[in-house]
A and B are shown apart, each in its own frame.
Chain A
Amino acid sequence: MSVLLIAEHNNKEIKSFTLNAITAASQIDEDLHVLLIGHNADDVAKSLSLVPNVKKVIQVDNEIYENYIAESFTPVVLKHAENYSHIVCSANTFGKNLMPRIAALLDTSQVSDIIKVISTDTFLRPIYAGNAFATVKSSDLKKCITIRPTSFEAAQTSGGTAEIVKADKHEVTTNTKFIKKEEVKSDRPELGTARIVISGGRGMQNGENFKLITDIADKLNAAIGASRAAVDAGYITNDHQVGQTGKVVVPDLYIAVGISGAIQHLAGMKESKIIVAINKDGEAPIFSVADYGLEADLFEALPKFLEELNKLNTIQK
């Protein structure tokens, strides 16, 4: 029995969620191989080989894999799947798009978004926006699993000596063409892995007011999140959305500002270690999950908050 993990990367670096997925995968079985599909991604192959949990890196290089298209990745995975009992990857937009396509062709009922490995065939996963946890047992011979990255620590990235094996491409004609990716570049920490996240909701009233949040984010070296309402209203771009259909975050500190706390938003942040809620509506459901609630007008509280932070001698980064 061994596990094949499909790596997410940008041909230069491993995406951090793949490191979390590696931790979960090696809990399923120690014989963990990583499949790296890309183009001119030798640096990624090298980095993966240094991860101690990884026993082998299988590198498939071709220009058709420069951009990630599930339709062209799937045949490569299927070709290698034969030797493995488990096919796994991270449950972010990468893995969510790719894995079901693989699972269907393996005639496997996929187990999505696991948060705990109980045994090689039994896993814990949230359902109903995290309002219930289901323990599920897969009876398929070959298992396809996606892993909620924030539920597992990132794997160590040095000390390993996995061999890198080159494998052939698998030419397919696909009817899908990559056009462009509009990536929002930011010097801030990534939302999914940041130690501190500060999020704004509908209460921010407009996009300009997010400046109040970015100022504090700069001070705390925090990532910026948002509720779906704030994204829908156009205050901020979609990559900031936290919630059931957005991103799941588990920072040490989550500060929710002007967010009422709909079930769907709570699904994306309620596992955070410390939660702060700032809202002028004292009855807002967000207070039910907050460790520290401040009932206040955010337009007064946020500038004051920044002022108080500036008074501190030291701030953890």
Chain B
Amino acid sequence: MKILVAVKRVIDYNVQIRVKEDGTGVVTDNVKMSTNPPDDNAIEEAVKIKESGKANEIVAITVGEEKAQETVRKALAVGADRGIHVKVDGIIEPLAVSKILQKVVDKEKPDLVFMGKQAIDDDCNQTGQMLAALLNWPQATFASKIEVKDQYLEVTREVDEGLETIEVKTPAIVTCDLRLNEPRYASLPNIMKAKKKPIEEINVSDLGVDVKPRIEQLKVEEPPKRKAGIKVSSVEELVQKLKNEAKVI
């Protein structure tokens, strides 16, 4: 079985986001970048499945600018076998990413495609479902548990009401929740080894996919600030404030 895992390079989850003064976006210069956190869970799950003997190849793919390749290299360091980097500059929407991934899936013919359930930069939560639609494959989104069976997966999904279990026949798309597993760290020897693993570079223009944005970002601004609060010195004072000042209890 072959697993394709899609990873995205985003601003690190610990970075305090700053909005550019001219309203064109957020500051990315000299800001720490990392793999989108749930994409790490996607890689980890693929590696665990391979370690259990149920998969024999993991291919990590990213779509993005030159430096996005770092995320593929990191995936290789934790257990992916080879990488693909589809090079494209500028804003690229989930619809375009899913069309690119569709082209790659047509060529690579994986049995499973894993990725994070949402990217923490644009918070769109679309790509996996869109890819599943374009391929007419089943989708198991927001997965917190995956069991690989013969020709199908049993997936536990995190939904508003609690947990839902579904079965999806392979080939299938799974989008991963942060609770799926605990991503491992790459060891130094594995980081060194990863440098020798192959990464295929593809120019997006060679795929024949229309990646022109359909959504124009007119303005990016800071959200309204909360007015500064106060510290109370005791529980009594807190309850009195809630009762008599805020009038919420």
Of A97, A104, A132, A247, the residue contacting B221 (CB under 8 A) is A132
User: A68–B93 Cα gap in the complex (Å)?
Assistant: 27
User: A158–B123 Cα gap in the complex (Å)?
Assistant: 35
Does A238 lie within 8 Å of B248, measured CB to CB? no
B247 to chain A, nearest CB (A): 8
Does A108 lie within 8 Å of B95, measured CB to CB? yes
User: A210–B122 Cα gap in the complex (Å)?
Assistant: 34
Number of interface residues of B (CB under 8 A): 82
Check if A227 is an interface residue, CB within 8 A of chain B: no
Most-contacted residue by chain A among B38, B123, B219, B223 (CB, 10 A): B123
Check if B33 is an interface residue, CB within 8 A of chain A: no
User: A183–B157 Cα gap in the complex (Å)?
Assistant: 12
Does A129 lie within 8 Å of B123, measured CB to CB? yes
Check if B243 is an interface residue, CB within 8 A of chain A: yes
Of B169, B218, B229, the residue contacting A292 (CB under 8 A) is B229
B115-133: which residues lie under 8 A (CB-CB) from chain A?
A: 117-118, 120-133
B residues near A97, Cβ cutoff 8 Å: 129, 139, 141-142
1/0 per residue B154-170: CB within 8 Å of A?
Answer: 10011111111111110
User: A25–B124 Cα gap in the complex (Å)?
Assistant: 19
User: A270–B165 Cα gap in the complex (Å)?
Assistant: 32
Does B219 lie within 8 Å of A134, measured CB to CB? yes
1/0 per residue B17-51: CB within 8 Å of A?
Answer: 10100000010000000000010000000000000
Does A301 lie within 8 Å of B235, measured CB to CB? yes
Q: How many A-B residue pairs have CB under 8 A?
A: 259
Of A174, A176, A181, A282, the residue contacting B163 (CB under 8 A) is A181
1/0 per residue B123-151: CB within 8 Å of A?
Answer: 11111111111100111111010000000
User: A293–B130 Cα gap in the complex (Å)?
Assistant: 43
User: A69–B141 Cα gap in the complex (Å)?
Assistant: 11
User: A160–B126 Cα gap in the complex (Å)?
Assistant: 34
B228 to chain A, nearest CB (A): 8
Q: A109-B95, A113-B123, A181-B159 are in contact. Are A96 and B141 (CB under 8 A)?
A: yes
Does A179 lie within 8 Å of B160, measured CB to CB? no
A residues near B196, Cβ cutoff 8 Å: none
Does B163 lie within 8 Å of A101, measured CB to CB? no
Does A112 lie within 8 Å of B123, measured CB to CB? yes
User: A312–B11 Cα gap in the complex (Å)?
Assistant: 47
Does B121 lie within 8 Å of A128, measured CB to CB? yes
Q: A253-B246, A276-B242, A293-B230 are in contact. Are A136 and B235 (CB under 8 A)?
A: no
A169 to chain B, nearest CB (A): 19
Of A128, A183, A308, the residue contacting B120 (CB under 8 A) is A128
Check if B65 is an interface residue, CB within 8 A of chain A: no
Check if B249 is an interface residue, CB within 8 A of chain A: yes
Most-contacted residue by chain B among A69, A131, A231, A263 (CB, 10 A): A131
Does B226 lie within 8 Å of A274, measured CB to CB? no
A residues near B142, Cβ cutoff 8 Å: 93, 96-97
Chain A residue at minimum C-beta to C-beta distance from B168: A176
Interface size range on A against B: 35 or more
Q: Chain A interface: which of B53-61, B171-179, B198-206?
A: B171-179
A residues near B108, Cβ cutoff 8 Å: none
Q: A71-B138, A71-B139, A97-B129 are in contact. Are A180 and B216 (CB under 8 A)?
A: no
Check if B231 is an interface residue, CB within 8 A of chain A: yes
B9 to chain A, nearest CB (A): 14
B residues near A52, Cβ cutoff 8 Å: none
Check if B16 is an interface residue, CB within 8 A of chain A: yes
1/0 per residue A109-124: CB within 8 Å of B?
Answer: 1111100000000100
Check if A264 is an interface residue, CB within 8 A of chain B: yes
Q: A101-B139, A138-B214 are in contact. Are A289 and B162 (CB under 8 A)?
A: no
B residues near A182, Cβ cutoff 8 Å: 162-165
B residues near A132, Cβ cutoff 8 Å: 17, 19, 26, 220-223
Does B133 lie within 8 Å of A133, measured CB to CB? no
Check if B188 is an interface residue, CB within 8 A of chain A: no
A193 to chain B, nearest CB (A): 11
1/0 per residue A249-284: CB within 8 Å of B?
Answer: 000110000000001100000100111100000100
1/0 per residue A61-89: CB within 8 Å of B?
Answer: 00000000111001000000000000000
User: A103–B140 Cα gap in the complex (Å)?
Assistant: 17
If A181-B161, A308-B235 are given as contacts, then 20 extra A-B residue pairs at C-beta distance below 8 Å, sorted by A number, are A70-B139, A92-B160, A93-B158, A96-B141, A96-B142, A97-B139, A101-B133, A102-B133, A104-B131, A108-B214, A127-B122, A131-B222, A132-B220, A132-B222, A174-B138, A176-B139, A184-B162, A291-B226, A296-B235, A316-B249
Interface of A toward B, CB cutoff 8 Å: 69-71, 74, 92-94, 96-105, 107-113, 122, 126-140, 174-184, 192, 196, 220, 228, 231-232, 237-239, 244-245, 247, 252-253, 263-264, 270, 273-276, 282, 287, 289-296, 301, 304-305, 308-309, 312, 315-316
